[in-house]
């Protein structure tokens, strides 16, 4: 730690110390809702050049801050008030931890001299946050604030990234201290890049070179580690089929000829050797177990987190280290062996035939002329207009799952969804964060947020935040009047004749034909209520042409629309 030269008897408040400490750690964005006792912190960070975005709910603020961490590699900060404010943010902290995204939450808390007295919004915040974070602490003094902030940032990005919590007693915020007594810590260095053991790399390469039906699975850990260049080289030079997980899409472009996403089920069920690049064998990959996988499949795990290696299966080889660095090691070894997988193999023939069959089925569904539309028709017409470099935010049940297969990604870290924790309500917070990051780094880039109607309801008031900050976000609500399924307006009316909604309305139903687009127009954005493919395309064209105004396109579909019958559902029931 190094001391700065300061003017003698220069006094600063706790709020100013927090702001300076965050600025020193290269923090760019803070999201939150102000109130007692944290308002002065938000004012101080703005004064020092950190962007503060006032949200409408602490959950959405926390989701936004975590998305910044994923997109930039440096944590965003969520600022919340004490008690209920922090509790609302716990969902975002848990989501960040499960997704392995860096996040800092700063929570105001009761004054120290009122502890255990029943103070305003008193709650054991440091203890509570330990369940949802990698690090949870309260500075012991104002002088300790910079070192605690540095440790929180460092913990959030080192090893497996995650959430960290810093508690700030209310009396600390305005309390002042002579600046000459404060030890300011330097910006923590980027995480060290670790490589796998040479013997492990050799073993993995040998196993892979002897495979008959190899497969690469690319997870969001590969996207986060910026491994796209090395993984692309591995795919191209070795002629390998690859399958991206939902947020691994774009690490290698979805339109690459070796992408076998259209034959996902077959690829998983029949591969004999699988390399996992930053992908966990959790529910998203069916735990790595039969019947989704061969009983004798050999897994090669590449991960930054040692504790992840060997979960649910006994891997044939483990490569502990940075995804990008380890991929480079593995490629070097395979090149030395002069190994390349033949494009004329029976495995490639099986995969290509299945891909063609599934794509034809999806296309037939997409081109159906009947109204109301199905999911495939909606996504077919949306896909034709999406900019290649847009950031896609997606959440909902069928909306997210079918959109994953129908809407391509060409660049890494350009698809963000409910993720490992399956969290609903993340969409608008993610979209706000994505729009801010894009605005600062790639001003022409667009953010398209595709929501189910149920998912939109979790954080719909963040539309006001989008309009307040004039963020060019396009929200598409795929509206089926319910959760999974709904009822059409006529069936709803007939059902209500038999009694009160609470007694007879199916739990999955929402109010038919709700005009969600009017929420957008209420705050000055553009809203569209559409029912046909032509109306979708016209609304999306207008929205893309208007680069300085947010919009919401409310797309009505068949309430009974569903995914293809041959698709695997994500959720696998364990027989264990």
Residue 498: per-residue pLDDT: 82
Q: b/e string for 255-274 if b means 16 or more Cβ within 10 A?
A: eeebbbbbbbebbbbbbbbb
Angle separating helix axes 398-406 and 346-366, nearest 10 degrees: 120
159: domain range?
11-181
Sort 557 into a burial class: Cβ within 10 Å, 0-12 / 13-18 / 19+.
buried
Q: What is the model's pLDDT at position 8?
A: 55
Q: Judge if 450 and 552 occupy the same domain.
A: yes
Task: Give which of 306, 325, 330 is closest to 195, Cα–Cα.
Answer: 325
- Kindly state whether residues 342 and 377 are assigned to the same domain: no
Express each pLDDT in 274-287 by its tens digit.
999 999 999 999 99
One domain for residues 126 and 203:
no
Question: Are residue 98 and residue 240 in the same domain, yes or no?
Answer: no
- Do 378 and 520 share a structural domain? yes
Domain check: are 421 and 530 in the same one?
Answer: yes
CATH code, domain carrying 347: 3.40.50.1220
C-alpha distance from residue 91 to each of 58, 60, 162, 166, 283 (Å): 9, 9, 13, 16, 20
pLDDT at 73: 96
Split into its structural domains, the chain has a count of 3
Residue 496, pLDDT score: 84
Query: Are 77 and 167 found together in one domain?
Result: yes
Tell me what pLDDT residue 548 has: 84
pLDDT for residue 3? 43
pLDDT for residue 1: 44
Which regions in the chain score pLDDT beneath 70?
1-8, 564-576
Tell me the whole-structure pTM to 2 decimals: 0.94
Residue 6 in any domain: the answer is no
Dist. CA 295–CA 291, nearest whole Å:
8
């Amino acid at each position: 730690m190094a001391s700065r030269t300061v003017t003698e008897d220069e006094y600063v408040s706790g709020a100013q110390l927090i702001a300076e400490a965050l600025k020193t750690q290269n923090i760019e964005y803070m999201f939150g809702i102000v109130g007692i006792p944290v308002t002065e912190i938000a004012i101080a960070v703005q004064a020092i050049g950190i962007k503060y975005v006032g949200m409408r709910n602490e959950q959405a603020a926390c989701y936004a801050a975590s998305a910044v961490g994923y997109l930039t590699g440096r944590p965003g900060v969520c600022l919340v008030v004490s008690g209920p404010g922090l509790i609302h943010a716990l969902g975002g902290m848990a989501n960040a931890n499960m997704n392995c995204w860096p996040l800092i939450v700063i929570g105001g808390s009761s004054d120290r001299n009122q502890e255990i007295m029943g103070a305003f919004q008193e709650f054991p915040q440091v203890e509570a946050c330990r369940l949802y974070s990698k690090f949870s602490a309260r500075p012991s003094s104002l002088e300790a604030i910079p070192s605690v902030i540095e440790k929180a940032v460092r913990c959030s990005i080192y090893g497996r990234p995650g959430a960290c919590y810093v508690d700030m007693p209310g009396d600390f915020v305005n309390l002042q201290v002579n600046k000459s007594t404060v030890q300011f810590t330097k910006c923590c260095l980027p995480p060290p890049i670790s490589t796998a053991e040479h013997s492990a790399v050799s073993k993995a390469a040998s196993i892979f070179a002897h495979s008959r039906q190899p497969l690469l699975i690319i997870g969001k850990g590969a996207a986060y580690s910026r491994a796209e260049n090395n993984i692309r080289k591995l795919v191209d030079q070795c002629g390998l089929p690859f399958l991206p997980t939902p947020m691994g899409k774009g690490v290698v472009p979805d339109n690459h000829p070796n992408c076998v996403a259209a034959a996902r089920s077959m690829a998983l069920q029949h591969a004999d050797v699988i390399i996992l690049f930053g992908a966990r064998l959790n529910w998203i990959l069916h735990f790595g177990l039969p019947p989704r996988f061969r009983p004798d499949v050999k897994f090669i795990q590449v991960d930054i987190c040692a504790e992840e290696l060997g979960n649910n299966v006994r891997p044939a080889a483990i490569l502990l280290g940075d995804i990008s660095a380890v991929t480079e090691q593995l490629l070097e070894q395979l090149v030395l062996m002069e190994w390349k997988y033949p494009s004329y193999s029976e495995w490639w023939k099986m995969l290509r035939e299945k891909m063609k069959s599934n794509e034809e089925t999806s296309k037939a569904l997409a081109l159906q002329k009947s109204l109301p539309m199905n999911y495939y028709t909606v996504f077919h017409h949306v896909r034709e207009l999406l900019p290649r470099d847009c950031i896609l935010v997606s959440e909902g049940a069928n909306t997210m799952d079918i959109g994953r297969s129908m809407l391509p990604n060409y660049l890494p870290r350009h698809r963000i969804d409910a993720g490992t924790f399956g969290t609903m309500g993340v969409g608008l917070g993610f979209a706000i964060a994505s729009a801010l990051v894009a605005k600062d780094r790639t001003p022409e880039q667009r953010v398209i947020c595709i929501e189910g109607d149920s998912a939109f309801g979790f954080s719909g008031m963040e539309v006001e935040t989008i309009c307040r900050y004039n963020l060019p976000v396009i929200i598409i609500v795929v509206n089926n009047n319910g959760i999974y399924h709904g009822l059409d307006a006529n069936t709803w009316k007939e059902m209500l004749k038999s009694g009160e909604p609470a007694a007879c309305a199916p739990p999955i139903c929402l109010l038919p034909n709700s005009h969600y687009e009017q929420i957008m127009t209420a705050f000055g954005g553009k809203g569209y209520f559409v029912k046909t493919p032509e109306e979708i395309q016209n609304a999306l064209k207008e929205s893309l042409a208007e680069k300085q105004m947010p919009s919401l396109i409310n797309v009505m579909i068949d309430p009974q629309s569903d995914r293809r019958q041959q698709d695997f559902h994500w959720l696998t029931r364990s027989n264990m």
